[in-house]
Amino acid sequence: MLVMALTGFVIIMTETAPAGLLPQLASGLRISEALAGQLVSAYALGTVLAAVPAIRLTERISRKPLLLIGIGGFAAANAVTALAGGFAVALGARFVAGAFSGLLWGMIAYARAIVPPSRAGSGLAVAMVGTPIALSIGTPLGSLAGAMVGWRWTFAALSMIAVGLICWALVAVPNRPGRSTAERTPVLRVLGIRGVAPVLLVVFTWMLGHNILYTYIAPYLA
């Protein structure tokens, strides 16, 4: 379960790292801070576009190999971001990272599958604990590290953490089979369930306000 929690930590850290490093990113890539903020947008776009298709295309694949592929995608995308010589390369790497984020968030149910049914709720809670830790501690530390040694090292560190996480998952995470396509519930049917659409609207509104604020918080605080 700690592997799943650390996976969530890496996902959120990768998403939010540019927000705390916006001035350094803008300077290092020789672009405006407004344009540097699009590195967050590219990640979000990758997540939105990839989440549903990735989940549907991979639902029959065993869970552990898929988890390793997803974490490996983060290791590669963060490494490319760290080495990017220009904005276009960094933007592409961020989009790819977002796509792998969509894949991994769709695997949250995996956390419930590797614990006894009676502890499914606790398993999911532990798997999600990496998210608040990343937001409250990880992102500020990433910003501090970026200010001290440069933004590239922040992304390099995230890549190295992902590589270490792959090694840990190889020995610590049990495998589980994918699911049959016969078990799939059509997306439109899910949206038709009473209460789902209002909840999605609330989440959309909350995330929109949250992202607008945090993406450009560093220039305001500078």
User: For residue 105, what is the domain's CATH number?
Assistant: 1.20.1250.20
Higher pLDDT, 116 or 7: 7
Q: Which residue range(s) make up the domain with 59?
A: 2-221
For the chain, give the mean pLDDT: 85
Q: Is the pLDDT of residue 120 over 70?
A: no
Residue type, 58: T
CA distance 140 to 45: 24
Which H or E run contains 191?
helix 187-191
Side chain identity at 49, as an amino acid letter? L
Give the residue-averaged pLDDT of 39-63: 87
pTM of this structure: 0.85
The half-sphere exposure of 72 on its side-chain side, counting CA atoms within 13 A, is 9
From CA 210, how far away is CA 201, in angstroms rounded?
14
Percent of the chain past pLDDT 70, that is, above it, reads 89
Mean pLDDT of the 2-15 span: 87
C-alpha distances out from residue 121 to 102, 126, 127, 169, Å: 22, 9, 10, 21
User: Binning pLDDT at 50, 70 and 90, where does residue 146 land?
Assistant: confident
Residue 184 is predicted with a pLDDT of 64
| Secondary-structure breakdown of the chain: helix, strand, coil percentages, each rounded to the nearest 5 | 85, 0, 15
For the chain, report the end-to-end CA distance as a whole number of angstroms: 38
DSSP structural state of residue 134 = I
- For residue 105, the model assigns a pLDDT of 82
Q: Determine contact, residues 35/84, Cβ cutoff 8 Å.
A: no
Does the pLDDT of residue 217 top 80, yes or no? no
Helix, coil or strand: residue 6: helix
The total number of structural domains that make up the chain? 1
